[in-house]
Structure 1
Amino acid sequence: MSIGDLSRINTNVQSMKALGQLNKTNSELGIRQLRLATGSRLNRAEDDSAGYSIANKLKAKTRGQAQALSNIGDAKGMLTVGEGALNSTMDILQTMKEKAIQASNDTMGDEERTAIKGQIDALTAEIGDTLAGAEFNGKSLFGGTDALSDGTSTGASLSFQVGASSSDTFGVEIGALSTTALGTDAAGTADLDLTGITVTDSTTAGTAIDTIDQAIKNVNKAVSGLGDSQARLSIKQDNLDTSMTNYEAARSRIEDTDFAKEQMEIVKLQILQQTGIGSLAQANSGPQSVLSLIG
């Protein structure tokens, strides 16, 4: 490579080459300092176009997963509301069973059985309020406000977004429950109707006990179903958390600054910067030797 002719001063090739190298050193030093300042190795697409693209895809993935984690938390909260309503219903049903057992004993007279009937009716109404009031963000879980034209209700068909892809969904079906349709009867056919309970004598009181027992079984089954769904959501939550960590680690290896390496490069570039300035100064003073040829 030609280094120029020192006897010609209009074009100082040595100075131009030294300046060019110094500019490259300064530019590289600026890039390294920016990486230290931002903590990111990729501040522009030109730093590593392929890595920049991959890092952005991984970042989009992890941000989507972070929102999915939040979704799972909301979903578990929603199901917990339903579980709480069912647990309250279970407590009421157990009290109703106590009252029905009390009424089935022939030591009770008509007046006492009428009083027990009033208590059972009040408890039945409370079950209706409890189930109808089981809502999350305006959505009825047991069909309290979704009455159909035939007087029945629909439960909730829920779909939760539990991942970063459109296919990462989890569905939960919650059956309709109300005082007139608390699941099916022992034969598995009719709407189990608590509003029709009577305790006028030991026979009807015995029937009431059977009805309440079946209602307790149905509520237990519903609670178990919600519990299973919550357990699955917890597993998905743990898996998603692990996946997020792995994706973040992969993105970090591509995008994040290696501070030890960058500091080492900066020290080297600072030395090159100083020697480049010295070389440029020498190259600029070189043409002055021409003066010795004059006079």
Structure 2
Amino acid sequence: MPAVLNTNVASLWASKNLLGAQSKMADSVERLSSGLRINRARDDAAGLGIATTLTNQINGANQGARNLNDGISMVQTAEGAIAAAAEMGQRILTLATQGANSTYGPAERSALKAEMQQLIVSINSITNRTTFSTNSLLNESATATGIKFTIQISNTSTDVVNLDAAAFRNVGTASTFTYTALTADTDVSGLADGNYTRYVDVGGVKVAKTLNVNGSDYLLDGLAFDKANYATLYTQSVGAGAAGSAAALSTAINSADNTATFQAVQTAASTYVTALSTQRSLLGAYQNQLEYTVSNVTALSANLSAAKSRVIDTDYAAETANLTKGQILQQAATAMLAQANQMPNVILTLLK
């Protein structure tokens, strides 16, 4: 190597190596301080792309697990309401069996009928109050099918669990019954002798009553009724929608007054309880499905997080070794740069 003054090649190379050692040591410090192997795209462009995709999947899976747990809570809410309605259905069946016994007279049967009608009112109340996050859970018709709710499981739009409307059928009489107030005296006085179902308002709920007409005598559930009070009575009709599961049972109860009609209530009550059992079974199946899906999605999130960690997280064992190497190289390069900067002094010796 020639002895020159203007260009200190050894110093240039030592300076270059010092800068390289400092840059690598700075990278090691950044990775150790942040805990991330990839802090910017230049660190590993392909790895950053993979990590971003994995992050999308992990976030979707984590939110999907929360969605599924909300779905489980919703299904449990609906199933609990149906269980309460089923208990009342069983009570109605018991009362109907009691009323079908011919040892009972009109007064006893009237009392049994009144209790059954009040149970129908309670069942309707269950239907109306069973909501989840403002969504009515039991408002589908007794023959409803199709998708009622969709549970989103991940960041993929098609990855869903669909809950059928059959599991959320109206367990009451109907959500579309309308009541019309009687508006003329002839609505009552013009009736032929016999029993008629009319309704009265009890706290905003229409309760069925038996209006008995016998010449000039009027009885409402066995109590004297003044026909001038016709404005307190309502007639019932079904709107455009289909009736709920208890519609046939309610109709049978309103007509119950002898052994045969109480037997008809028995049949209707048995059918009603069976329908509720089927509906609860479907909700139970959905609950199991959602719980197993939560387990799967949670495991998926854990595995994806482990894969992301392998790509993006700092390996402290390897990085501390790199930092130590960088520190030694920096010290060595600094020392060699100092030596290289002293090399032109040799020319002074030649000039003496």
- TM-score over 0.5 for the alignment? yes
State the Cα distance separating 1:98 from its structure 2 match: 1.9
> SS state of the match for residue 156, structure 2?
coil
Preserved contact between residue 143 and residue 153 of structure 1 (Cα < 8 Å): no
Q: Which amino acid is 1:251 matched to?
A: K
Aligned to 2:86: 90
> SS state of the match for residue 344, structure 2?
helix
- The within-5 A match list for 1:23-102 is 23-102=19-98
Match of 2:264 among 207, 224, 234: 207
Preserved contact between residue 72 and residue 233 of structure 1 (Cα < 8 Å): yes
- Mark the runs of 5 or more structure 2 residues left unpaired by the alignment: 175-242
Q: Runs of 4+ in structure 1 displaced over 3 angstroms? A: 152-156, 180-184
Aligned to 1:245: 302
Aligned to 2:15: 19
State the Cα distance separating 1:265 from its structure 2 match: 1.2
Q: Which amino acid is 1:157 matched to?
A: K
> SS state of the match for residue 162, structure 2?
strand
Aligned to 2:173: 179
Preserved contact between residue 14 and residue 336 of structure 2 (Cα < 8 Å): yes
Q: Which amino acid is 2:324 matched to?
A: V
- Give me the whole-angstrom Cα distance separating, in 1, the residues matched to 2:250 and 2:318: 74
Share of identical aligned residues, percent?
A: 30
Q: Which amino acid is 1:28 matched to?
A: K
Q: Which amino acid is 1:161 matched to?
A: Q
Preserved contact between residue 48 and residue 312 of structure 2 (Cα < 8 Å): yes
State TM-score, norm by structure 2: 0.74
Which segment drifts farther, 285-294 or 215-224?
285-294
Preserved contact between residue 159 and residue 170 of structure 1 (Cα < 8 Å): yes
Preserved contact between residue 67 and residue 153 of structure 2 (Cα < 8 Å): yes
- Give me the whole-angstrom Cα distance separating, in 2, the residues matched to 1:205 and 1:196: 8
- Give me the whole-angstrom Cα distance separating, in 2, the residues matched to 1:230 and 1:272: 62
State the Cα distance separating 1:154 from its structure 2 match: 5.8
- The within-5 A match list for 1:182-261 is 182-183=244-245, 192-197=248-253, 198-261=255-318
Matching of residue 170 in structure 1 with residue 170 in structure 2: no
State TM-score, norm by structure 1: 0.88
State the Cα distance separating 1:133 from its structure 2 match: 1.7
What do you get for the CA RMSD once the two structures are aligned? Answer: 2.1
- Give me the whole-angstrom Cα distance separating, in 2, the residues matched to 1:111 and 1:234: 52
Match of 2:322 among 251, 255, 265: 265
Aligned to 1:188: none
- Could you say which structure has the higher helix fraction? 1
